[in-house]
Amino acid sequence: MSIPFKLDIELHVNGIEYPVTIDAGRNLVSVIRTEIGLTGTKEGCDDCECGACMVLLDGQPVNSCSYLAAQAQGRTIVTIEGVMHGADLRPLQRNLLEAGGVQCGFCTPGMIISATALLARNPSPTDEEIRIGLSGNLCRCTGYVKIVEAVARTAAG
Ligand code: FES
Ligand code: FES
């Protein structure tokens, strides 16, 4: 049986440095939610399958359930709270709501993170490219059509 040891690290999340003391084996999603208190990032399968825990790490979408918090030190982390703009909805968020792409909402933060990364690297994706870009995010409610529509609408401006 391994003995957990503590690490003092700093995580750069949404433009703020957070000093945290954690067990070395803690995953990033649990530290973001529990130590840092940002609960918009969801924990679903905890096994790199559903995408609910997606955050941006140096601009790339990463399943934070399968990423050690200690490995994220020195990197730029953006959570769903960092993508949002105060009380104002960003166009992607508004389009998701208007298109009916949000039902229970559990997948929505991860979807927005993946779609944000997709639109940053490909501002005019085809529907096929949107589906590929969101293929790491599972949604049990919407059937994906309305989510793809919302991303396409956002790309069209
Ligand atoms: S909770 Fe991380 S992929 Fe499902
Ligand atoms: S809206 Fe419920 S899982 Fe996607």
Range of the domain at 57: 6-83
Residues 66 and 97 in one domain: no
For ligand 1, is residue 53 a contact (CB within 6 Å)? yes
Whether 1 maps to a domain, the answer reads no
Q: 101-147: per-residue pLDDT in tens?
A: 999 999 999 999 999 999 999 999 999 999 999 999 999 999 999 99
Residue 15 belongs to a domain: yes
CATH number at residue 66: 3.10.20.30
Single pTM value for the model = 0.95
DSSP per-residue codes, 33-79: IIIS---SS--SSSSSSS-TTEEEETTEEEEGGGSBGGGGTTSEEE-
Last residue in a domain, options 39, 54, 83 = 83
Q: Verify that 67 and 121 share a domain, yes or no.
A: no
Closest CA to 101 of 46, 154, 156, 48: 154
Identify the band that residue 2 occupies on the pLDDT scale cut at 50, 70 and 90.
low
13 with 69, same domain: the answer is yes
**Structural domains in the chain (count):** 2
Same domain, 56 and 117: no
- Decide whether any atom of ligand 2 lies within 6 Å of the 100 Cβ: no
Q: Indicate the residue type of 128.
A: E
In a domain, 140, yes or no: yes
117 Cβ below 6 A of ligand 2: no
